[in-house]
Structure 1
Amino acid sequence: MDDGSRQRRWWALLLAGSVLAAGCGGGEESEGGGMGPSAGVREKRSALWRDLVASREKPPDPQALKGPDEQGIGRPDHRRPEPSGSVKGYVSWVGDNELLIRDAQGKEQDVGVVPDTELRLNGKPVGLASMREGDSVEATYDDGPGGWVAREVVVRANSEPPPSPSDERGGAAVSP
């Protein structure tokens, strides 16, 4: 073996050893007192790997990010399907993102309100906070994972309170 190839081999081994030493933290002491890379070195290494992996990922197809309504899947006329049901009654309680509706039989049902829900009071678009206990309400809804989700809520403000459950059963209502 001639001196030129021996020298190249020596430089290659030196370079490989340097890379390995740098990759292992170069013998720095960690915060716990043991040998190994510090937290800062590990953080930088993690960020480097994360960026490297992210650069090799394919970006998602914009069409795949759209929901079925935006893609027009399953409906040739691109209209929304019919609601799951409807309920009529009185507003029993108004929450931040839900209504409690009491029907004519006195049964109460929670109906969730989402940003897509159309809310109208006396024919005018309003927010949920405009609705009051005792207002007459009619809501169409879809079945959601957590219960009913309102599609449209139409409220008519009442000047008289709704009948109390005791009135409907023939009992006397007690005034405070």
Structure 2
Amino acid sequence: MDRKRRVRGWALGLLLAVWGVSCERQEDTGGGGGEGLPSAKNRELRSAFWRDLMASREKAPDPEALKGPDERGVGGSGRAEPTGIVHGRVTWVGDNELLVRDGAGVEQDIEVVPDTRLRLNGNVVGLASMREGDAVKVAYDDGPGGWVAREVDVEVSPPRDISTEREGRRGRASGEPRGDDSSTRPR
């Protein structure tokens, strides 16, 4: 196979040398557009030749890359399945991490990144909505510093108010009641 490749290389080199010499002769004899420059037709022919030559040298795409997500064993979203899932209770909430204690009592520090989906009773929330003691299910990936959360699902019963921080401050400042208090409702 190596011999075939060398023969092809020599043949290609010889072809290019002959073609180059013939182009020079045309340019010298006035076959070009004047002043020793190749004509537009010669430039187009050269461009087409090199384009076709380069296209013939391109590698075919990897068959694995052409397969769909289901055939590669990844989820429907096109992302690979998470490394693992842990069920437990939140024992601490930081600025960008959660500490979760699983059923065996082992605590695990889990990083929360901007791509992490955080849900409380099915509603998308921020990390500040998580509380100590909440039952949590975390789908995670292995990261350089440990576990990185992909999805964090918290189920709380009864559902708590998930208003934004600004709405909560506005309500506390105006003295509006929070929740269903029938004694303060207008009749």
TM-score if structure 2 supplies the norm length? 0.44
More helix by share: 2
